[in-house]
Amino acid sequence: MDGMLAGLASKLVDWSARIVGVLLALLVALLIARWLQRATERVMERRGVDTTLRGFVGAMVRYTVLTVAIVSCLGVFGIQTTSIAAVLGSAGLAMGLAFQGTLSNFASGVMLLVFRPFKVDDVIQVSGTVGKVTRIDLFTTDLVTGDNRKIIVPNKNVFGNTIENMTALDTRRVDVEIGVDYGGDIDVTRDTLEAAAREVELVHDDPAPHAVLTGLGASSVDWSLRCWCNTADYWAVRESLIRAAKKALDEKQLGIPFPQVDVHLDNQALSALAKK
């Protein structure tokens, strides 16, 4: 009996020591995990990494340290960590299959935050939508259109498609297509259009405005009036350019035609109809 009590006491002491040791180890692991999370976020902040990505990476570092610590502590109590790893792997595979769409959005969100093809306040065109970026999350990207509609696009549809960033560069070319009457002189038309473009206040002098003859249409001689401006002034310059071109062509009496149809009547057919 005394031997049994002595063995039980020995086991209690042993397990107590193990429990205390595990608790201390978990406490140290928690402190290390928090320190590594903050250190990681500080380093990424100094390098200008996006806030959302900083938080995500910091949390991943923290939970990775805690997971390793917990699995290691389970081995102290004789639990086979290889079995736990197998179960976690199977569970991870099942969750991956169940949430493959969500994980795809998540992975695309991480790629967007890492490669940064656009940033908040940029105007982009993606998935058939044009709008200003207001928020970039790990799962979705929020856009606001020109008529103040909020569009939420899944990140897999953003990263997996062609992205047109309209405000990434400081300058942009404005193209205005104009049709002029066939009776107008080509050289006079070119000089008139280019002079009108130079009078627009926000148009850049270098590169200089240029009128390009693009084709001979069914009803008009087709021109493309091209000039450069600051990206922020694009729509104002476009409207002013159309107005200036119209007024200049009117002053030079160069007509802007509209589609016309010529109808030819057969005399014999008219005579036959008259007899009826």
Total domain count, the chain? 3
Q: Using an 8 Å Cβ cutoff, are 138 and 56 in contact?
A: yes
Residue 88 belongs to some domain of the structure: no
Single residue among 80, 101, 122 that ends a domain in this structure = 80
Kindly state whether residues 151 and 187 are assigned to the same domain.
Answer: no
CATH code where residue 120 lies: 2.30.30.60
Residue 182 belongs to some domain of the structure: yes
Kindly state whether residues 42 and 19 are assigned to the same domain.
Answer: yes
Q: Say how far apart CA 54 and CA 37 lie, in whole Å.
A: 9
Closest by CA position to 231, among listed 159, 101, 163, 132: 132
CATH code where residue 221 lies: 3.30.70.100
Task: Give the model's pLDDT for residue 217.
Answer: 87
Kindly state whether residues 12 and 67 are assigned to the same domain.
Answer: yes
Two structure tokens written together for 263 = 């109808």
DSSP 165: E
Residue 216 belongs to some domain of the structure: yes
Kindly state whether residues 6 and 70 are assigned to the same domain.
Answer: yes
pTM over 0.75: no
Query: What sections of the chain are H helices per DSSP?
Result: 2-46, 51-76, 81-98, 100-115, 155-159, 186-198, 234-251, 267-275
Task: Dihedral sign for Cα 28, 34, 40, 45, please.
Answer: negative
Q: Say how far apart CA 124 and CA 58 lie, in whole Å.
A: 29
Residue 93 belongs to some domain of the structure: no
Kindly state whether residues 190 and 240 are assigned to the same domain.
Answer: yes
Question: Which range among 14-23, 25-34, 151-160, 244-253 shows the weakest confidence by mean pLDDT?
Answer: 14-23
Using one digit for the tens of pLDDT, what is the confidence trace for 140-194?
899 999 899 999 999 989 988 899 999 999 999 999 999 999 888 999 999 999 9
Residue 103 belongs to some domain of the structure: no
Q: Say how far apart CA 115 and CA 77 lie, in whole Å.
A: 45
Task: Give the model's pLDDT for residue 136.
Answer: 85
Residue 13 belongs to some domain of the structure: yes
Residue 240 belongs to some domain of the structure: yes
Residue 90 belongs to some domain of the structure: no
Average pLDDT over residues 51-68: 77
DSSP 238: H
Q: Say how far apart CA 42 and CA 26 lie, in whole Å.
A: 24
Cα 1 to Cα 20, 23, 52, 80, 239, distances in angstroms = 28, 33, 63, 33, 102
Kindly state whether residues 120 and 142 are assigned to the same domain.
Answer: yes
Closest by CA position to 72, among listed 140, 136, 125, 22: 22
Structural domain that includes position 234: 171-251
Helix (H, G, I), strand (E, B) or coil at 256: coil
CATH code where residue 55 lies: 1.10.287.1260
Helix (H, G, I), strand (E, B) or coil at 250: helix
- For residue 233, pLDDT over 90 is answered with yes
Helix (H, G, I), strand (E, B) or coil at 252: coil
Task: Give the model's pLDDT for residue 232.
Answer: 92
Using one digit for the tens of pLDDT, what is the confidence trace for 192-206?
999 999 999 999 999
Q: Using an 8 Å Cβ cutoff, are 150 and 142 in contact?
A: yes
Cα 40 to Cα 56, 90, 103, distances in angstroms = 10, 30, 24
Single residue among 62, 80, 98 that ends a domain in this structure = 80
